[in-house]
Amino acid sequence: MPELHQTLWNLESEDLGALVELALDLRNCWNHSTDPLWNKIDPELWALTHNPWVVLQTSSRTRLESLRDDPEFRDQLKERLERQRRTLKSPAWFQRAHGSPQLNCVAYFSMEFGLSEALPIYSGGLGNVAGDQLKAASDLGVPLVAVGLLYSQGYFRQIIDADGSQRASYPYNDPGQIPVTPVRDKDGEWLRLSVILPGQKLWLRAWQVQVGRLRLYLLDSNDPANAPVYRGITSELYGGGPELRLTQELVLGIGGWRLLRALGIKPDVCHLNEGHAAFAVLERARSFMDDNGQSFEIALAISRAGNLFTTHTPVEAGFDRFAPALITRFLSRYAEDRLHLDLPRLLALGRLHPDRQDEPFNMAYLAIRGSGAINAVSRLHGAVSRRIFQPLFPSWPELEVPVGHVTNGVHTPTWDSAAADALWTQTCGRERWRGTMETVGDDIRRAPDSALWELRAKHRLELVRFVRERLASEFATRGGDPKTAESIFDPDTLTLGFARRFATYKRPNLLLYDPQRLVSILTNPQRPVQLVMAGKAHPQDIAGQALVKAWVDFVQRIDVRRHAVFLSDYDLVLAERLVQGADLWINTPRRPWEACGTSGMKVLVNGGLNLSELDGWWAEAYSPQVGWALGDGKEHGDDPGWDAAEAEELYDTLEKKVIPAFYNRGNNGIATEWVARMRESMSRLTPLFSANRAVREYTEKYYLPAAAAYRERASDQGAYGGSLLQWKQELAEHWASLKFGELRVESCPQKHSLRVEVHLGELRADWVRVQLYADPLDAEPPFLSEMTHGDSAEPSAGWRIYAADVPASRPASDYTPRIVPSHSGVSIPLEDAHILWRR
């Protein structure tokens, strides 16, 4: 039995073990079948925390003993435990569709995980995505383990002072009060690992979190054996300066991979969720070196095939960079002693220009050079990322920069309300989110107008009650009259939601661009509107904090107080309430700086609609039938004139489209136009932008191919790596000798026949490919056609003739011959970016 509160130690029993098992499994944060148990143990504490582990830890011995003797409670507990065990042991989508032999294990590395407010080790979007993907992987049975850090303080909590300013607070994450348990070795000792830092050894403690079928492992530097400065490495998420960030990323990447090795876990695939985890690339290669007696270059060539890098960053300046002196200080011994690599070769892995000694070390570059595939998190972000990474692939067309995309999705069972869950269950069945969802869209489409409209009414009423209760508590805390909150909001009024991190590029002040016009929208006596705002600005983001204060000041205006609120300390609990209760979710980022955005996806399952900038996920989700769009789908930078134009468009859209659609009612009192959009949004978008779809896409598009590629390269102790390195060395040595000769074209109405002379020099013909390339037309991909070689033009001089026929629908001048590398199983240009064009 795990370490428990002393009360529980004195109550060891089968029933207590069942309670512990259920309380420590974070499946309880999306499967609510056990909620009645925790509510019965301590109703008040359960209502305040919704944290089963805290409820169980805090309960008195007397209370637990009385429940142990309660037959009804015991029967409920036994039934819930047996049901959960059956569910977790039964074959899921992955086992039915693919089977375990094709994929042993995926190791998912992330700096943060937003699983539950019971485990506050997240800050925002990146953590929410990671948490939702873990939950979906559990539902789908994908064999995955996750690795992160256990922060003793986590991300800051937001306090709004009397003058409207944001203040940061950092509560302590007591390991005894959060659902984590120590990782034990085979002898029952607490597992501890070490990483060498300048001057001494850093000891790391290991913890584990149960997430349904999966486990999340967390590393913690707060070990008494460490110096005080090093004990604080895992103290704060995204705090401190570059040195703290670097040491955290060393712990995550190097320490995380060592933890898996210590546990005997041998992943086929290593999924790097953002560049923070890129040091795992080095440690994975080092492990392969030690196991197979290979050099670092061969080990990296082998292991990278099993690594996937997911980038979430929409601007080049957003990647972590470290000064060369800092990398030298922390990694020189590791490079020389463990990788047998001189420091300049290590630094080159994180640089655009390897010989530029003052260039910082870029973690995204390390991740790219150590991975077999790269993906962005929306279709638009894929295009943005290809532009960002273009310098790494000089002379290659931007469209061929090797970055794919898997658009993010949200874990619908986490974000739906009880009422929404009941409606989806009635129309689509209980297993709707655990399979391939083929019929879900058609099933929910059959829900009657009355059921959809009633759903919105229930959600809005619940949000109004929540807002009033929360504000009453805040008023009382500040010495005000809590009854004042009773006049805030109306359950029958159109309710807008806006909540996210407050940063200038997200433009949370766009809605506030013309305050008086916003007031007139909110206070219209015939068609009123109410607005819920929430969000945090990073403690070092002064501009973002000013945006928070502007909203706090606005909602305190006498003419606004009943119609708009700013709720402080935006977290997962508050987010859940808002995405369930808002009729319309608003998002106003500056395109294309929203890599994906997932908050608007969370309203879909609850019947909420979106009004958003054509950025991130909404750029591919929007159609007039499912919501409303802002902007022209183009990039305008930070032009204040464009901000003004979009603010005007935002107000116009609300006044002329959104508000009439909500308040124009039929004879039955239902807003038929609004409900029609609800139906289309729920049917089309909810399955498509779910974590279920995203995880299945990752599995089939990336995990399974990566596992197969890694196993093939790793066979025979990595012998493949030697031939691969020889090929790369030959290309590097002889590429400059390649050249084109004469190009001949013969045309007829149906086709162009092109023949070009190519000088290969010392390179073998099967080490390269000669292609015809034409730029894309409209939205089509580039045209590519392989050219085949026949007899030599001048055999003694190393010339060959390559030929191809192409459609005559385009001029022959559109087609350009080029030479690119070729090797079985190698990703071009990701693993070798040589290219030669005939000019």
Rounded CA-CA distance 274/364 in Å is 8
Determine which of 30-39, 83-92, 703-712, 794-803 has the lowest per-residue pLDDT on average: 794-803
Residue 792 pLDDT class (50, 70, 90 cuts): low
- Token reading at 605: 């399952």
What average pLDDT does range 357-368 have in this prediction? 97
Rounded CA-CA distance 489/494 in Å is 10
What average pLDDT does range 276-298 have in this prediction? 97
Cis peptide before 829 (omega within 30 of 0): yes
What average pLDDT does range 131-139 have in this prediction? 98
Note the pLDDT of residue 482.
Answer: 85
Q: Is the pLDDT of residue 11 over 50?
A: no
Question: What is the tens place of the pLDDT at every residue in 13-29?
Answer: 666 888 999 999 999 99
Rounded CA-CA distance 502/77 in Å is 43
Note the pLDDT of residue 14.
Answer: 66
Note the pLDDT of residue 186.
Answer: 87
Note the pLDDT of residue 362.
Answer: 98
Note the pLDDT of residue 67.
Answer: 87
Q: How are beta strands 768-774 and 751-759 bridged, if at all?
A: unpaired
Domains of the chain: 6-89 (no CATH), 104-320+365-408+703-710 (3.40.50.2000), 438-689 (3.40.50.2000), 738-837 (2.60.40)
Q: Is the pLDDT of residue 4 over 90?
A: no
Note the pLDDT of residue 16.
Answer: 80
Rounded CA-CA distance 191/345 in Å is 33
What average pLDDT does range 462-475 have in this prediction? 93
Note the pLDDT of residue 791.
Answer: 65
Q: Is the pLDDT of residue 352 over 90?
A: yes
Q: Is the pLDDT of residue 167 over 70?
A: yes
What element of type H or E holds 446?
Answer: none
Dihedral, 282, 286, 292, 296 alpha carbons, nearest 10 = 60
Burial of 749 (0-12, 13-18, 19+ CB in 10 A): exposed
Scanning 582-639, the segments in alpha helix (DSSP H) are 618-621
Rounded CA-CA distance 686/680 in Å is 10
Helix, coil or strand: residue 509: coil
What element of type H or E holds 322?
Answer: strand 321-322
Side chain identity at residue 775, one-letter code? D
End-to-end CA distance of the chain: 71
Rounded CA-CA distance 533/496 in Å is 9
Note the pLDDT of residue 7.
Answer: 43
Question: What is the tens place of the pLDDT at every residue in 517-546?
Answer: 999 999 999 999 999 999 999 999 999 999
| pLDDT over 90 percentage in the chain | 84
Note the pLDDT of residue 177.
Answer: 87
Helix and strand counts by DSSP (H, E) for the chain: 32, 27
Question: What is the tens place of the pLDDT at every residue in 52-90?
Answer: 999 998 888 888 888 888 889 989 999 999 999 999 999
Note the pLDDT of residue 795.
Answer: 57
Question: What is the tens place of the pLDDT at every residue in 369-388?
Answer: 999 999 999 999 999 999 99
Question: What is the tens place of the pLDDT at every residue in 551-610?
Answer: 999 999 999 999 999 999 999 999 999 999 999 999 999 999 999 999 999 999 999 999
Beta bridge partners of 145: 107, 215
Note the pLDDT of residue 478.
Answer: 78
Note the pLDDT of residue 1.
Answer: 38
Note the pLDDT of residue 458.
Answer: 97
Question: What is the tens place of the pLDDT at every residue in 304-324?
Answer: 999 999 999 999 888 999 999
- If you average pLDDT over every residue of the chain, what do you get? 93
Residue 100 pLDDT class (50, 70, 90 cuts): low
Question: What is the tens place of the pLDDT at every residue in 450-463?
Answer: 999 999 999 999 99
Burial of 171 (0-12, 13-18, 19+ CB in 10 A): exposed
